[in-house]
Structure 1
Amino acid sequence: MFASIKKWMGSSSKGVDQGGVLSAWAKAEGHAFKHVSGRVSGYVVETTRGWRVEWGDSQRRVYIPGKELRFRSETSMPHDVQVVMLTRALAQTLETDVFSRFTNDMQTQIDTSLPDEMRWLAMHPQVDTPQSPTLAKRFVILSNAVEVSQLWLDSSLIAAFEEAANSWWTDELMLVLTVNRGMLTVRMAGDDIDPEVLKQAADLFDLAARRLRETALQTAA
């Protein structure tokens, strides 16, 4: 599986410490930056907006080899709501790898050793975005709670996703957004962090997290 992912990602500056990039961004934004060591080593940024950024060894080696950058936020969304969003180009690559693993191993069910979000590619229905041809063309959004996901995707969030699609969120960028167990997470390849992409991804994540909290309140009412 790594072969097709590495080919898709191309070359990167693997092994280069990205602490300086994260520290500079955190200082400029007024966030708290710290180094963590022990069983897990890396960096953590506690933001002033109630969510955090983590950098360290990948927790998703099956599709992010090397280092990983994670944005994480509690949202109060019910734990059974699941969403995954990624570019169509990356979705096609991951779907091909899942199918290859399934057929090569002659399995009768989806491999439970795969990360949740990869299994969801085959399990969950698509969330249509007819109000945004750009999103419909560039991204795949899947969820087991389609109506909740459509409520989350209000005009402000769709506009932000469209802006990202037209600027920094390219087909070549390894980035996967998920909602699971009440947690909003964005995972990115972390071997070579572009400072401008970091800032833009953080701003988009902040909006997505706020909208998800608002949606959780709306659906609970």
Structure 2
Amino acid sequence: MFATIKRMIAPGSGKGDEGQVLSNWAKAGGHAYKTVRDKDGGGHVVQVEDQDWRVEWGTSQRSYIHGKELRFRSETKLSPDVQILLVSRVLAHTLETEVFSSFTNAMQTQVDNTLPDEMRWLPMHPRVTLTEPAVLAKRFVVLSNAETVARRWLDDDLLSVLEEAATTWWTDTLTLVMTVNRGRLTIRMPGQPLEESQLDAVGRLCSQATRSLRAAALSSSSG
């Protein structure tokens, strides 16, 4: 199954009817599905009611994601001031290079505020040290302006799901960015092509990340 996921999320691996894939996936899971229209051509939304998160597919909102974009979003109940970024080291290096290029080409004295939040955070926020599991420490980067909250988020349950992702479908070549900002978790990745097993895998990651964030929010408010 995961070999299929890797093939489906690899750049240039083909095209499909993403709306139909999302509709079938939503129907199989008992989720609400709808098509939305806007000036950019519209897209599709799946609401996962029982776990209170949603999937969005449509025009890319980020320059580093070409074509269509797939987003998983949830409200975390964390303070809106908490900012967390989780990304592969390979992608972090790519984005850092783009930030540096933007900075030097414009001869600026500060980071460009027009850049996406996650790109501006790369030179701004300290790294949260990852030691275990080894595959995560080797391949991923976590940055945050609230290290204590970030460490509470990275609980054993989330680390287990992240390790599964890192050893099955979340490859170094995959453009996937996970952020927490203004109380919302967002997972972004290329939206073409799609496969239901891919949605299942990223959905498991979103579900656990959301549960762990809400637990971290509860712990922060009580402690």
Q: TM-score, normalised by structure 2?
A: 0.91
Report the Cα distance in structure 2 between the residues aligned to 1:76 and 1:22, rounded to whole angstroms: 27
- Looking at structure 2, the residues matched to 115 and 54 of structure 1 have their Cα atoms a distance apart, in angstroms, of 18
Tell me what 1:184 maps to. Answer: 185
Q: What are the Cα deviations for residues 153-175 of structure 1, in whole angstroms up to 9, with x where unaligned?
A: 11111011011000001111111
Aligned to 2:57: 55
Instruction: State how far apart, in whole Å, the 2-side matches of 1:125 and 1:38 are.
Output: 38
Determine the structure 2 residue equivalent to 1:134. 135
Amino acid at match of 1:181: R
What does 1:185-204 correspond to in 2, within 5 Å? 185-204=186-205
Deviation at 1:39, TM superposition (A): 3.5
Residue 5 of structure 1 corresponds to none
**Alpha-carbon displacement from aligned partner over 1:2-37 (angstroms, at most 9, x marks no partner):** xxxxxxx743546x5410111111111111111111
Partners in 1 of 2:38 and 2:59 — Cα distance?
A: 13
3-state SS of the aligned residue for 1:113?
A: coil
Give CA-to-partner distance per residue, 1:165-219, whole Å, 9 cap, x none: 0000111111100000000000111021233221100011001001101110110
Partners of 1:28 and 1:17 lie apart in 2 by: 17
Q: 1:102: which partner in 2? A: 103
Aligned to 1:29: 29
Q: How many residues align?
A: 211
d(CA) in 1 for partners of 2:39 and 2:104?
36
State, as a whole percentage, how many aligned pairs show the same letter.
55
Whole-angstrom CA distance in 2 between matches of 1:13 and 1:141: 31
| Matches of 2:140 and 2:174, distance apart in 1 | 12
User: C-alpha separation between the residues in 1 aligned to 2:115 and 2:80?
Assistant: 20
Deviates more, 1:171-180 or 1:189-198: 189-198
Q: AA paired with 2:142?
A: I
SS of residue paired to 2:164: helix
**Alignment match, 2:149:** 148
1:112-170 deviation per Cα after TM superposition (whole angstroms, max 9, x unaligned): 11000001011001111213211110101100001110011111110110110000011
Provide the rounded CA distance (Å) in 1 between the counterparts of 2:195 and 2:89: 22
Alignment of 1:36-47 (within 5 A): 36-39=36-39, 41-47=42-48
2:175 partner amino acid? M
Structure 2 match to 1:4? none
The residue number in structure 1 matching 2:5 is: none
1:20 aligns with 2:20: yes
RMSD: 1.4
Give unmatched runs, 5+ long, in structure 1: 1-8
Cα gap change, 1:192 to 1:211, in 2 (>3 Å): same
Matching of residue 160 in structure 1 with residue 136 in structure 2: no
Bigger shift: 202-211 or 190-199? Answer: 190-199
Partner amino acid for 2:18? Q
